[in-house]
Amino acid sequence: MMRHAMTMKCALLLALACLPPGALAQKHKDVEEIGARDINRGSWNFYSIEREIELGRQLAGQVESTSLLLRDREVQAYVNELVQRLVRNSDAQLPFTVRVIDSDEINAFALPGGFVYVNTGLILEAQTEAELAGVLAHEIAHVTARHATKRATKATLFRWFTLPLIFVGGPIGLAVQQGLGLAVPLTFLKFARGAEREADYLGLQYTYSSGYDPLALIDFLERLSEHERKGNLPKVFSSHPMSKERIKRAQEEIAQVLPARTDYVVSTSRFDQVKARLLHWRHVNSLYEPSEQGGPRLRRRTQESQP
pLDDT tens-digit profile of 9-54?
444 444 444 444 444 334 567 888 999 998 988 787 888 899 999 9
Residue 204 lies in a domain: yes
Query: Is 34 within 8 Å of 89 (Cβ atoms)?
Result: yes
* Total domains in the fold of the chain: 1
Residue 265 lies in a domain: yes
The band of 69, judged by pLDDT with boundaries at 50, 70 and 90, is very high
Residue 226 has pLDDT above 50, yes or no: yes
Residue 43 lies in a domain: yes
Report the C-alpha gap between 128 and 268 in whole angstroms: 8
Question: Which residues have C-beta within 8 Å of that of residue 286, sequence separation ≥ 6?
Answer: 299
Give the CA angle between residues 178, 179, 184 to the nearest 5°: 50
Residue 240 has pLDDT above 90, yes or no: no
Residue 88 has pLDDT above 90, yes or no: yes
The band of 117, judged by pLDDT with boundaries at 50, 70 and 90, is very high
- Taking alpha carbons only, the member of 135, 146, 227 closest to residue 188 is 146
Query: Is 277 within 8 Å of 252 (Cβ atoms)?
Result: no
Residue 189 lies in a domain: yes
- Count H helices and E strands in the chain, helices first: 10, 7
DSSP helix/strand/coil, 235 = helix
Residue 185 lies in a domain: yes
Residue 214 lies in a domain: yes
Residue 245 lies in a domain: yes
Instruction: Measure Cα distances from 241 to 54, 196, 232, 296 in Å.
Output: 31, 10, 12, 38
- Taking alpha carbons only, the member of 152, 227, 139, 207 closest to residue 185 is 152
Kindly report the pTM of this predicted structure.
Answer: 0.76
Q: What is the pLDDT of residue 153?
A: 73
Domain limits for position 108: 20-288
Helical spans, DSSP H, in 101-237 = 120-125, 129-144, 147-161, 193-209, 215-229
The band of 158, judged by pLDDT with boundaries at 50, 70 and 90, is low
Residue 8 lies in a domain: no
Helical spans, DSSP H, in the chain = 2-18, 49-65, 73-88, 120-125, 129-144, 147-161, 193-209, 215-229, 244-257, 269-286
69: which DSSP letter? B
Report the C-alpha gap between 215 and 264 in whole angstroms: 10
